[in-house]
Structure 1
Amino acid sequence: MTPGELALASGNHTPVTRFILLGFSSYPDLQELLFGAFLLIYAMTVVGNLGMLALILTDPRLHSPMYFFLSVLSFLDICYSSVVTPKLLVNFLASDKSISFEGCVAQLTFFVAHVTAESFLLASMAYGRFTAIRRPLHYSAVMTKGTCLRLVAASYALGGANSALQAGDVFVLPFCGPNQVAHFFCDIPPPLRLACANTATVRVVQRVVSALVTLVPAAVIVASYGWVLVAIGKMRSAAGRDKALSTCASHFLAIAIFYGTVVFTYVHPRGFASDISGQVVSVSYTIIIPMLNPFICSLRTKEVKGALQRQLRARTCPC
């Protein structure tokens, strides 16, 4: 039985109005050190992604579908990192580590919406790379501005639908007993363990839906990059092969890290809600990956390096 079901069986029917986020509270001596480390990471995330957004928006040479998707990726990384990290930073220093029931609902809703949108956005980026390398003559006709906007809108729509479904399934359940969430934010599995009801059906739905919104885009990505590698292998120009491989390798690295950690958390048949390994993995995709994406996906490309150099020269040139 879950803690919530035990509470219901014991006759404790007090409705839960606040949850306590235990997070990393088992390490009291490290709270200030962890606060400093996560504050630095969050600052680098915001500055790095905002900088990438500004660079892409202000440099006409980066006004292409690939960099449009990268700018949206930067925006998503700022959003879902900001849903989680500020509350975590406050909890490192505050004695009251609670969050209201409504706040928990809002945090889970916005987090799931942005993570799901990023999942489908990464699939759109892979399709864009496939089109650019596999069908270069048709690229401008296929990846038009309208197509890119529709792909981003579809990513957000699917994110919103998944968020509404997941949050609705979890918080429609009664919470009447324990309120200690064994996590540093309101993710799906930890509050689910506290519900005073049989959650077997909800867990099945959660895993099936999570599998669909991660494995389906992942399959699109693997298929797209598979065809891309075939196309790269047929290139006659060594310089062209090196450029294509460099761009695709950096994108695929970011994608592999993101999907690997998300699948580990949501699709794996065993729950990691109360296990420290689950929290470590969650730190990876909620806090670390948003910081790394600008460096992995963008700063390794020659176009972005060139744009950055032009911006620096424009600001330092005395003429």
Structure 2
Amino acid sequence: MTETYLVGVDLGGTTIKLAFINMNGVLIEKWEIPTNKKDNTIVEDIAKAIEEKAKSIGILKDQLAGIGMGAPGPVNLETGVVYQAVNLGWENYPLKEKLEQAIGLPAIIDNDANIAALGEMWKGAGQQAKDLICVTLGTGVGGGIIANGEVIHGVRGAGGEIGHITAVPEGGARCNCGKTGCLETIASATGIVRIAIEKMQKIETSILNDLYEQNGKLTAKDVFDAARKQDQAALEVIEEMSFHLGLALANLANGLNPAKIVIGGGVSRGADLFIENVTFYFNKFAFPAVAKGAEIRVATLGNDAGVIGGAWLVKSKIMNH
């Protein structure tokens, strides 16, 4: 009996992560290729990369069950059309159709934050919880909401846009989405830096001021490093971010009553500084029964969440039909 493999693909603006994963969710092989936006050869590059890698490690094409892929934007699940992927310059792009034509394998496309949530549910911090909120804090704030084992998509594929919950109703900072005061303007890496620059102007004796003068810029990591040294401005930034994140997650959880809330993305590397604060505010603002039922955890799969979630899509959707 030859083994069957699942192909997971996580399409990012800079790199495309790919993996062959077995039916138990074990990574057999993972690698990445650059995202060629300039010539838009993304689909051809993926097809070629999968075929070449399979050949080099001795996997036959008919051992591949299909491709599960995350794209950076809302997706029509039925057709696999990406409504919009701003950083790739795509609008109404028929990704599923093009990919299936290029490689001759069934493909299933979803949003990248959704597949990361599925990955964490299957093999990560979600521990197979069927009701789960996954929030990714990176350059922006993404998310995936899973109810009864299924990702919430909504009518335009934009379910789970946790980053665009309004945190500051009046006078908030402008967000890339066109609104103001989104959670993304506070809890993302860019939001953390923005708040830090505001705080520095009020607290002049901060490590952050020195770093800013030395480097001409600040990073979220700088803020976390300063907070670890008990820098007042940096601690205030983390307090503000924790308050808004805890509040937003509590309001979301009141609608879902999840077992797990998983926090991932690059910013989660500073979770030792904010997870307790976020949990405190979450417990304060969530309905008591909801707060008791939910555990807030840091994501464990890192950059592998997307490819593992993509593989789960193949296993659950293609293999079971």
Give the TM-score category using the shorter length.
Answer: 0.3 to 0.5
* TM-score, with length taken from structure 2: 0.34
* TM-score, with length taken from structure 1: 0.34
Instruction: Answer with 1 or 2: which has the greater Rg.
Output: 1
